[in-house]
A and B are shown apart, each in its own frame.
Chain A
Amino acid sequence: MSFAFALPPFRPAWDYWRGLLQPGWSPYGNTARIVRRAPAAADSETLWLRPFRRLGNWQPGQHLTVGFELDGRRFQRSFTLTSLPGETELALTVRKRAGGRFADWLEAAGSGARLSISEPWGGLAFELPEAPQRLLLAAGSGITAAMAQVRAAAARGQMAGLGLAYWVRERAQACFLEELHLLQARFPEFRFRLFLTGDTPVAGHEADGRLDAGTLAALPADPRGAEVLACGPQGFVARVEALLREAAARVATESFTPPVLLEPVSADASIALTLARSGRVLSIPAGTPLLAALEAAGLKPEHGCRAGLCGRCVCAKPEGVHVDLRDGSVHPEASHALKLCVSAARSDLRLDL
């Protein structure tokens, strides 16, 4: 029920009262309630969410962006859905980084708290879900993307030829171990190996060492001719590409680095600015105010005072790091209200223009 029922002047009041009487309703997108939480590993937790409105069609392995409020500000974080599309509850397994914003929020939130949620987007998937050779490589929190594929394959009974290699530092950090063992017992053709980089392997399914030419032989399935999906930190994904691009039939990778950890570029570097509405990509100097840079590129964004006062040049920034030139403050988070005239880029940016 998202049709615009209320006429314009009644709109603010309508939004207010409906939001009050029907918790979870929002004119600005979907929300979800946390119905269950359980620890998934030493530093990870699984959340089960019940969305207010049903999600549209989505595929296993897609991501969900959640919005939450901490200290008066709304933040967004993206996670891979580990539940399958038919289920009523959405499952997310999140790594709780010490001092991380979402971890802080979860600490205070308890069960029953609400998050705003996006529609599922992006994600990795096998081109041929029944292919005889499929290899999943996951490092750290990249396991969620791999787990979505494992569960989808198990639900369809297509576990033959599927292998999963999972890297963690210590055994206690590994998520889904119990479930993976159960799956192995149910589907003997499913091969799984846990690589420990900071612990000594004990059990038969465990191995040690980082991914390199030496550990290739220890992979649970032969990567030659296989379709390989890899998810993990940037360094890991880059190693997978370098090692397997030649041998494998197809390598698809995904890596996610939280925006707060992105390294801001210096003011004289040039960055890629993506304009979301037109799809144009511009290369602009990082030091110049975005409004001036856009104008230099021949665009005419709406603007007013050029001093950060009037708010007429405000636009949304879904991705990237920007700096407010008035006080030099760096803003790594997604924002609804970036002022073009007094902001400059500090990383590749995406703007809703």
Chain B
Amino acid sequence: MPATAPALLTGERLEAFGAELDALREKHVRDLGAVDARYIRRVRHAVRWTEVVGRLALYAAAPWPWLLWPLWCFGVLALAVSKILDNMELGHNVIHGQYDWMNDPSLQGDRFQWDHLCPADWWRQTHNHSHHQWTNVRGKDDDIGYGLLRIFPEQRWTPFALGQPLYAALLAVFYQTGIAVQHLKLGKYLKGQRPWREFWVEARPLLRKLPWQGGKDYLFFPLLAGPFFLPVLLGNAAANLLRNLWTFVVIFCGHFTKDAITFTPAQVKEETRAGWYQRQILGSSNIEGGPLMHLMTGNLSHQIEHHLFPDLPARRYADMAVEVRALCARYGVPYNTGSLPKQFGEVVWRVLRHAFPSRPHWVAKTA
């Protein structure tokens, strides 16, 4: 952990930094076109075809699972790939409105629905608004530990935190559910700050989606296999599990690495657009890798660029990263990137370390 806080840009220098990022955004907005449209449609083709291939492989393997288990595994993998692509490169990015400029109603952020338990409307609230506007602002961005984990020393320690390696593991396994209920802020009900009868009203959109979403993988598709119900059900569960674990890893690497910084609401009160840009960079971290890594993370491997330009097509982040990184070097703004094992190792360390009482070594200060 660095001994001192990184020196934050202020005043004119900060505004100049922001202006350069605005210019970068404009350059890419002007360049949007057929290439981006073709790309996102290809991603959608990939989501649909891998789903069919995966489900067919599971059906083919289901009557003889002890013999055809490699085929079963292939089916699970294909289905998991479909779900990961659907949730990340397709769903997450489309719901951000990255392809709204196409004017194609099937790829429009405000009406897109994804293969995920979380109703897309809630996601626009918790993720697009709370998390993206208030990134790493304590008390505003609920993604900091999801109200469950103590990730930063600035969060208050209670004995409850001692169990967090276990909670984190459970959260990873049930990550889809975790994200879906995040909107409800369960803690408030558990602590008795809100009456439970309000919960049932608030939870209605989720309760409406739950039977369909669960019924699809755990009833409808297994039933199609007739007597071979169980191998198909297990295959679907395994695919969902793989998707949960992978998205957990990617998303936790995005904001909870060693050098990620959190802010207090007071620090961001007078924040300009340039200040917002700077906060996004300091609060996010990238994962290094090749094109496949970027595709499978929905380009959240470029978490920094995603947080700077959440409404631009994610396929552009790789190109933008070169410029953003050079810009950060020029202005002396830390740019946090590393391999997946390194970044995830830092996340695991944080979860373990801050299970115990800890104090911040430094607090990021503006001015």
Contact = CB atoms under 8 A, between A and B. Distances in A.
Interface in B96-112: 96-97, 100-106, 108-110
Interface string A175-200: 00000000000000000000000000
Nearest to A339: B97
Contacts, number: 111
A260 B233 CA distance: 55
Contacts of A305: 128-129, 132-133
Interface in B24-42: 25-26, 29, 32-38
A336 B36 contact: no
B240 interface: no
Contacts of A333: 103
A337 B115 contact: no
Interface in B123-154: 124-125, 128-129, 132-133
Contact of B129 (A15, A304, A335, A336): A304
- Most A Cβ at <10 Å: residue of B100, B103, B104: B103
Interface size class, chain B: 35 or more
Interface string A278-317: 0000000000000000000000000011011111101000
B239 to A, nearest CB: 15
Contacts of B110: 311-312, 314, 337
Contacts of B104: 69, 74
B213 interface: yes
B108 A309 contact: no
A11 B97 contact: no
B48 interface: yes
Contacts of B213: 9
Given A309-B133, A335-B103, 6 more contacts: A8-B212, A11-B113, A13-B51, A73-B37, A305-B129, A336-B103
A337 B110 CA distance: 8
Interface in A303-353: 304-305, 307-312, 314, 326-327, 329, 333-337, 339
Given A15-B106, A71-B33, A312 B129 contact: yes
Given A305-B129, A311-B128, A72 B212 contact: no
Nearest to B91: A12
Contact of B97 (A15, A69, A314, A334): A314
A15 B311 CA distance: 25
10 pairs of A and B residues whose beta carbons are closest in the complex: A72-B37, A337-B100, A310-B128, A304-B129, A310-B129, A74-B103, A311-B97, A28-B105, A305-B133, A72-B34
Contacts of B188: none
Interface string B11-25: 000000000001001
B29 A327 contact: yes
Given A307-B133, A311-B97, A312-B125, A337 B38 contact: no
A120 B113 CA distance: 30
B103 A337 contact: yes
Contact of B216 (A9, A308, A311): A9
A203 interface: no
- Most A Cβ at <10 Å: residue of B22, B33, B101, B273: B101
Interface string B209-224: 1001101100000000
A314 B95 CA distance: 11
A334 B113 CA distance: 23
A71 B95 CA distance: 22
A304 B123 CA distance: 12
A10 interface: yes
A16 interface: yes
Contact of A71 (B34, B124, B128, B276): B34
12 contacts: A8-B113, A12-B115, A27-B106, A28-B105, A72-B32, A72-B35, A72-B38, A73-B103, A74-B102, A310-B128, A311-B95, A336-B103
Contacts of A98: none
A16 B212 contact: no
B44 interface: yes
A75 interface: yes
Nearest to A305: B133
A337 B34 contact: no
